[in-house]
Chains A and B, each alone.
Chain A
Amino acid sequence: MSPHSSAPDQTGQDRTIHQPIRPARHPGRWVAIAFVVLLVAMFVNTLITNPRFEWPVVAQYFTSGTILLGVQRTLELTAIAMLSGVGLGVVLAVMRLSPNPVLSSASWLFVWFFRGSPLLVQLLLWYNLSALFPDISLGIPFTGVEFIKIDANVLITPYLAALLGLGLNEAAYSAEIIRAGIISIDHGQTEAAQSIGMSRGRLLRRVVLPQAMRVIIPPLGNDTINMLKMSALVSIIAVPELLFAAQTIYSRTFETIPLLLVAVIWYLIVVSVLSAIQYYIERYYARGASRNLPLTPLQALRKFFGIRFGARPSTAR
C-alpha cells in the first residue's frame, strides 16, 4: 500500500486516489430502525404483560379436541373446495376458449354469476335451497319421470351447502386463472405438438398445462390461502370448522379473546405450511424454465454457511 503522505505524489495526483472508496452514509436508516425496534418492543411488552391475553387459556385450548376437530374440518373444507373448484375451473377455462360460442358463453355466464355475487350470500342461498326447491329429484326433464326424489333439507346439509358455496366460487376464480395460464403459452407449442400428430386432449395435458402451471400456481396458491380463511365464513351456517369451534367454546366460557387467538394461531400455522408446499410445487414446475433450478431453502442455507465458513462451494451449479 502507498505511504500516507499529505503532499501530492510525483505525478501530481491527489493522494485520495489511494484511499478505499467508502459507502454513502444513511443516518435516516438508523432512525427508521430505532422506530421499528421501539414498536416491536412495545408490542412484545403488551403480549407479555397484558393479563387479558390469558396465554394459559390459549395453551389449554390450543390442542383441545373441539379445536383440533375444527382444524381438521377447516382443512377438509379447504381441500375439497379447492380440488373440486380447480377441477371445474379447468373445464370452464377450456369451455371459455372453445370455438363453440354456446360453450364459451355458458362458461362466461357461470363466472359472471359466481364471481359477481358475495360468497356470504351464495352460502346463505345454498343453505336455504330447500325454501326454493323443497324436493330434489333425478329424472327425465319435462316428462315428470323421476328415478330418485330427496327432500332438499335432508340432501343439502350445512356441510354440503358450505362445499357448494366455496367450491363453485373457487371454480369461477380459478377458471380465469387457468385461462390466463393457457393463453400465456406460445402458439408455436401447439403447432409443434400438432405436427407430431398429438390430439387436442393430449396437447392440453402434456404440453400446455404443464407449462401454464408456472403462471397458474402462484395465484392458485393465493386462492388456497384465501380459501382457508374464507372457510371461516361457513361458521355462519353452523358448520363446525375452526372458527365455529372456537365460538362454541367461548360462548360457554366467555374467554373470547384467548379462543380467537387460538384460531388465529392455527390459521397462521396452516398458512405457513401451505406457503412452503407452494414453494416446492413452483420449483417442480420451474424445471426447464430457467437454466438452473432455484435452491431449496435448505440448499440455500447450506450454501450460505458454506461461504460464511470459508468452505469453497464445489460446483456453483
Chain B
Amino acid sequence: MSVESKETSPRIMVQATGVRKSFGPLEVLKGIDLALPHGEVMCLLGQSGSGKSTFLRCINHLERIDFGRIRVDGDLIGYNEKNGYLREMHEHEIARQRIHIGMVFQHFNLFPHMTALQNVIEGPIGVKREKRDEVRERAVAILERVGLADKLDAYPRQLSGGQQQRVAIARALAMRPKLILFDEPTSALDPELVSDVLDVMRDLAESGMTMIVVTHEIAFAREVADRVVFMADGEIVEQGRPGEVLGNPKHPQTQAFLAKVLV
C-alpha cells in the first residue's frame, strides 16, 4: 500500500472531519475531528456512552455517519462524493474498503463452526481469493505469533476468552490490513487473561501497525499509545501524547474520569 500521493496529506492514515451521527433523537457524535498518521497507535478513552465505540464503528462503516467525512489512507469511507454531495456506496464497494481495515470486537465474534485456522484463512481465501497454500502457511505463522501454534484445529468454544481474542486478532491480521480497529478487546476477558491479549497488541504496535484502540486499560494506553484521545458526550474533549493527557489532564471531565479509573 505504498501509494504515495493522494489528495489529502500522504502520511495520514485516518482523517475524520466533522463526523456527526445520531441514533433517533440522540446525537452520539457531535462533530469529531482527528487525524492519525501511518504507523501510530491511538487509544480512545472515555466513559461508556461517550460515543467512542460508535466512532470506531464508523471508521469501517459498520455505522453510517450523518455528516462529515472519514478518510482511510486517503479513501473516503462508505460514500462517493459527486457534485458536492455524498451518496452511500453499494454494499460490494464498502466490502472492498473493509478489506484494508481490520476489526477486533469486544466479544470476539469468531465463527464458531470453523476451527481457529479456518477462521483465519476464511477472509484471505474466500474474500481476497489468495492461494490456499500461501494463506495457510501465513495463517499458521500468524497463529504462532499470537501464541496459538498448538490450537490450529481447535474450535472457538474449546478456547478460553483470551485465546479466542488472539484468534480474532490473527483473523484481522491475515487480511494484511493497513489499519486495525480494536473495540474494547479486553473488556469481556477474565482479569488473568487480559495480559496475553495486550502483549499481542503491544507486539503489533511495535511492528508498526496503525491501530485505534477503544479501551479502559489506562496502563496500556500510557505505555503503548502514541496519542490518547479522551471523549465525552460525543465530543473529543482532550487529546495529545499519553504523558500529557494521562499525566496532566486539563479538562475537568478527563480529570474526573481518570480519578475514577486510576484508584
Query: Which residue on B lies nearest to A211, using beta carbons?
Result: B113
Interface pairs (14), CB distance under 8 Å? A192-B171, A195-B62, A195-B102, A195-B105, A196-B98, A196-B123, A197-B95, A197-B97, A197-B98, A202-B127, A288-B113, A288-B155, A288-B156, A288-B157
Is there an interface contact between A199 and B91, defined as CB atoms closer than 8 Å?
Answer: yes
Contact with A along B111-146 (1 / 0, CB 8 A): 111110000001100111000000000000000000
The docked-state distance in angstroms from the alpha carbon of A210 to that of B118 is 14
**Nearest CB of chain B from residue A288's CB, rounded to whole Å:** 4
A172-196 residues at the B interface, CB under 8 angstroms: 186, 188-189, 191-196
Is B209's beta carbon under 8 Å from chain A?
A: no
Is A290's beta carbon under 8 Å from chain B?
A: yes
Is B92's beta carbon under 8 Å from chain A?
A: yes
- Residue positions of B touching A, CB distance < 8 A: 60, 62, 91-92, 95-99, 101-103, 105, 107, 109-115, 122-123, 126-128, 155-158, 168, 171-172, 175
The docked-state distance in angstroms from the alpha carbon of A206 to that of B126 is 9
The docked-state distance in angstroms from the alpha carbon of A204 to that of B224 is 38
Interface size class of chain A, counting residues whose CB lies under 8 Å from the partner chain:
20 to 34
Specify which of A189, A289, A290 is in contact with B109 (CB 8 Å cutoff).
A189
Specify which of A189, A198, A206, A289 is in contact with B95 (CB 8 Å cutoff).
A198
Specify which of A186, A189, A194, A206 is in contact with B122 (CB 8 Å cutoff).
A206
Contacts A198-B95, A206-B126, A290-B157 known; A192 to B114 CB distance under 8 Å? no
Is A207's beta carbon under 8 Å from chain B?
A: yes
Residues of chain B contacted by A4 (CB below 8 angstroms): none
Is A52's beta carbon under 8 Å from chain B?
A: no
Residues of chain B contacted by A200 (CB below 8 angstroms): 91
Is there an interface contact between B109 and A196, defined as CB atoms closer than 8 Å?
Answer: no
Is there an interface contact between B105 and A192, defined as CB atoms closer than 8 Å?
Answer: yes
Contacts A194-B98, A195-B60 known; A188 to B175 CB distance under 8 Å? no
Is A287's beta carbon under 8 Å from chain B?
A: yes
Is there an interface contact between A191 and B98, defined as CB atoms closer than 8 Å?
Answer: no
Is there an interface contact between B105 and A289, defined as CB atoms closer than 8 Å?
Answer: no
Is A308's beta carbon under 8 Å from chain B?
A: no
Query: Which residue on B lies nearest to A287, using beta carbons?
Result: B113
Is there an interface contact between B111 and A189, defined as CB atoms closer than 8 Å?
Answer: yes
Is A291's beta carbon under 8 Å from chain B?
A: yes
Is there an interface contact between B113 and A199, defined as CB atoms closer than 8 Å?
Answer: no
The docked-state distance in angstroms from the alpha carbon of A211 to that of B109 is 13
Specify which of A189, A194, A202, A210 is in contact with B62 (CB 8 Å cutoff).
A194
**Nearest CB of chain A from residue B139's CB, rounded to whole Å:** 13
Residues of chain A contacted by B98 (CB below 8 angstroms): 194-197
The docked-state distance in angstroms from the alpha carbon of A162 to that of B205 is 65
Residues of chain A contacted by B128 (CB below 8 angstroms): 197
**Nearest CB of chain B from residue A263's CB, rounded to whole Å:** 40
Residues of chain A contacted by B92 (CB below 8 angstroms): 199
Query: Which residue on A lies nearest to B181, using beta carbons?
Result: A195
Query: Which residue on A lies nearest to B113, using beta carbons?
Result: A288
Residues of chain B contacted by A196 (CB below 8 angstroms): 98-99, 102, 122-123, 127, 171-172, 175
Is there an interface contact between A289 and B113, defined as CB atoms closer than 8 Å?
Answer: yes
Is there an interface contact between B109 and A188, defined as CB atoms closer than 8 Å?
Answer: yes
Residues of chain A contacted by B168 (CB below 8 angstroms): 192
Is there an interface contact between B105 and A211, defined as CB atoms closer than 8 Å?
Answer: no
Is there an interface contact between B157 and A289, defined as CB atoms closer than 8 Å?
Answer: yes
Residues of chain B contacted by A288 (CB below 8 angstroms): 112-115, 155-157
Is there an interface contact between B123 and A197, defined as CB atoms closer than 8 Å?
Answer: yes
Contacts A191-B105, A287-B155 known; A197 to B113 CB distance under 8 Å? no
Is there an interface contact between B157 and A192, defined as CB atoms closer than 8 Å?
Answer: no
Contacts A189-B109, A197-B96, A200-B91 known; A291 to B122 CB distance under 8 Å? no
Ranked 8 nearest A-B pairs via Cβ: A192-B109, A196-B123, A195-B103, A197-B99, A288-B155, A188-B109, A288-B113, A197-B98
Residues of chain A contacted by B111 (CB below 8 angstroms): 189, 192-193, 206-207, 211
Residues of chain B contacted by A193 (CB below 8 angstroms): 111
Contact with B along A137-166 (1 / 0, CB 8 A): 000000000000000000000000000000
Contacts A196-B98, A197-B99, A291-B157 known; A211 to B123 CB distance under 8 Å? no
The docked-state distance in angstroms from the alpha carbon of A206 to that of B125 is 12
Is there an interface contact between B127 and A192, defined as CB atoms closer than 8 Å?
Answer: no
The docked-state distance in angstroms from the alpha carbon of A189 to that of B108 is 9
Residues of chain A contacted by B114 (CB below 8 angstroms): 288
Apart from the given pairs A188-B107, A197-B127, A199-B92, 12 other A-B contacts in the complex at a CB distance below 8 Å: A191-B105, A192-B110, A192-B168, A196-B98, A197-B98, A197-B123, A206-B122, A211-B111, A288-B115, A289-B112, A289-B157, A291-B158
Contacts A195-B60, A199-B91, A200-B91 known; A210 to B123 CB distance under 8 Å? no
**Nearest CB of chain A from residue B58's CB, rounded to whole Å:** 13
Is there an interface contact between B109 and A197, defined as CB atoms closer than 8 Å?
Answer: no
A272-305 residues at the B interface, CB under 8 angstroms: 285, 287-291
The docked-state distance in angstroms from the alpha carbon of A199 to that of B123 is 11
**Nearest CB of chain A from residue B68's CB, rounded to whole Å:** 21
Residues of chain B contacted by A291 (CB below 8 angstroms): 157-158
